[in-house]
Chain A
Amino acid sequence: MYRIVTKKVLTPTLVLIEIEAPMIAKKAEPGQFIILRVDKDGERIPITIHDFNREKGTVSIIYQIVGATTEKLSHKEEGDYIQDFVGPLGNATEMPGCKKVAVVGGGVGTAIAFPVAKKLHESGVHVDLIVGFRNKDVVVLEDEFKKACTNYFVGTDDGSYVRKALVTELLEEQINAGANYDAVFCVGPMMMMKFVCKVTQKYNIPTVVSMSPIMVDGTGMCGCCRLTLKEADGTSVTKFACVDGPDFDGFKVDWDESVKRGKMYGEWERHKHEETCNLFKKEVK
């Protein structure tokens, strides 16, 4: 069992929890993920590591309440325990030789972009952190973000905060203004990553994307997290996000396939979420 040390509700659907997991904290690196189960019969879900504290022995994650499992997790408070917490899984993000990069995050992805930006920034790389949110109510963690980069750019889909702009627009502006990035690191919803890659491909800027497909074991056994990389010569190869990733060359990812695979249990998930919410409502009554 793993204790929730702190809990911060960032928005009504976005929650940060810090978990006591000293061995994972010791090894965690930006870009890696954990798998957790909330309770004894719970499903295993992968969540990217947001931050870690090696001295304190804690690992932080930020999750969005989208399904039954994250709903259940959101009812756990500071001092409560979750059943399982496994990691660090996947390969750490590597951007060797880069002097100037853009780190692009969208939605809950901004939480994942943070440790990568921070690590690069701390190692002396010029980091432009470009983040996008739906509206001003869901803008989170700005103080932390600003400390983790050289320049911070933010936009909202509806213009209710700072300015109305998608991350693709913000990124393209910087490129056109002569940013001359060595590489772009991008994490967020699949459609956002796909369109960021469309922009960067136009300017031929190598782009690393952090994929978050559905997983079961997360340790290289089940093959659920597979995706297709298309090579320039027309051949394609199957990769497994849990052991080969989660970072991949964004120009090679077969986005349409990954988007479809990501929705495989969508309907089931919505139904299950509703059912779980109703259960919690009953308990409250």
Chain B
Amino acid sequence: MPNMSLTKNPMPSQEPDVRNKNFLEVALGYTEEQALDEAQRCLNCKNPLCVQGCPVNVHIPQFVQKIVEKDYEGAYQVIHETSSLPAVCGRVCPQETQCEMHCIRGKKGDPVGIGRLERFVADWHNEHVTEAPAKPASNGHKVAIIGSGPAGLTCAGDLAKKGYDVTVFEALHLAGGVLVYGIPEFRLPKKIVQKEVDGLKAMGVKFEMNMVIGRVVSIDELMAQYGFEAVFVGSGAGLPMFMHIPGENLCGVYSANEFLTRINLMKAYKPGADTPLMPLEGKTVAVVGGGNVAMDAARCSKRLGANVYVVYRRGMEELPARKEEVEHAVEEGIIFKTLHNPVEIHGNENGYVSGMTCIEMELGEPDASGRRRPIEKKGSEFELPVDCVIMALGTSPNPLIKSTTPGLEVNKKGGIVVNEDGMTSKLGVYAGGDAVTGAATVILAMGAGKLGAKGIDEQLSK
């Protein structure tokens, strides 16, 4: 008999006033009792709509039923059939707009906490199963993956399972891409990413760090000289976008990419770190933008002791960030200045930020994106005293792969063009993730990694 409670088991979390002073994980994960109780809310639908909502089509009812049977490793194996990164997805996927949005229980009450259950299963596996995954028999085909973010790791995992000889080339010194440089420790502990990478290594995937493809070796050379029969480009998002307003290059104006990289990859939040970050204790920070990256930057700033504003030109309802992230940010004491937009950043005589002029906005008719267009309210400018501004406005694709790969077609925005199989304009070269779509989510990049792996497998097994 299913559990007919209308509400999800709440996620145990650190208290807001405690967690906004540390970088430890906010959500603590379900206990076994909570997981069992939540799993019993699943109706095990014959035609599970949740699966269609998942970009990698995890067999959701099957894994949830395994939890009900207390076969947690069995549940993990079900997820792992289609997803290479369960512990990551259980934490950072926007389930509310994917699997859980389609859950029948959500028609009346809360949907089943699929993401929370996925995390429980993945954490259970990581805690209890120490043996490394078996290394599949080799099929003799060599594939190169460019970038070790969610798209690259997923593509590598799917191909390794099929016996491909996979090498992942990473530009930075650590594998994980945005999972290590972008998403903060308190949302995704780095040891979890490392665990996923180690799992791939056990399956025979090779990782080459410090390899900036396009500079040290080109894609053409990988294929012609190094014997790679196919290449998957998952090089991720590139250069940060700015607003092109006066004062944007003052000291103390960061792109979210730079700010988060200093904190997450370079550990600038730890006392004694070698990488500097301007001291934020007692300072005021304005994060400009309303996406998940803006929330991450705001919450990091808060943890470093700053008074934090999120300045966003539309309203609370229009924030593109996950609802849960916004709620967490509000709980942690971040002040939302929605319907506001910066027009100029001011500096002192040494070139450091001293303030920002903002203007009030109102929402007009919907624009091409379907969202209501923000319009400036004339004469509503005011001064916001701030010491640091973080621009979280998205990114444009890195030009490096395009400029060093003759014949690789890109669109107007610089994103790599791919067909329905994930293949680019070059035979044997596939691409996916932010390098194709521009800034999006971890799970969409994983979906693209899966598609690329499928395309490569079909091509090479012909």
Contact = CB atoms under 8 A, between A and B. Distances in A.
Interface string A260-284: 1101110011001000000000000
29 contacts: A27-B215, A27-B216, A42-B274, A69-B274, A85-B210, A86-B210, A87-B212, A87-B215, A217-B172, A217-B181, A219-B172, A219-B398, A221-B237, A221-B257, A221-B398, A223-B240, A224-B254, A226-B242, A226-B249, A238-B248, A243-B239, A243-B399, A243-B400, A260-B250, A260-B351, A261-B351, A263-B351, A264-B278, A268-B276
Interface in B252-266: 252, 254-255, 257-258, 261-262, 265-266
Interface in A209-232: 216-217, 219-224, 226-228
Contacts of B323: none
A238 B215 contact: no
A260 B257 CA distance: 21
A27 B210 CA distance: 14
Interface residues of A, number: 40
Contacts of B261: 216-217, 221-222
Interface string B170-187: 011100000001000000
Given A24-B216, A41-B273, A260-B350, A220 B399 contact: yes
Contacts of A219: 171-172, 212, 398, 400
A216 B215 CA distance: 17
A253 interface: no
A84 B175 CA distance: 13
Contacts of A268: 276
B251 interface: yes
B209 interface: yes
Contacts of A261: 249, 251, 351
Contacts, number: 115
Interface of B: 171-173, 181, 209-212, 215-217, 236-240, 242, 244, 248-252, 254-255, 257-258, 261-262, 265-267, 273-276, 278, 350-351, 398-400
Given A222-B257, A223-B240, A223-B255, A217 B400 contact: no
Contacts of B238: 220-221
B251 A43 contact: no
Interface of A: 23-24, 27, 37, 41-44, 68-69, 83-89, 216-217, 219-224, 226-228, 238, 240, 243, 257, 260-261, 263-265, 268-269, 272
Contacts of B171: 86, 217, 219
Top-10 shortest CB links A-B: A260-B351, A222-B258, A223-B255, A223-B240, A43-B274, A43-B275, A265-B276, A86-B210, A264-B251, A220-B398
Contact of A37 (B173, B249, B278): B173
Contacts of B215: 27, 87-89
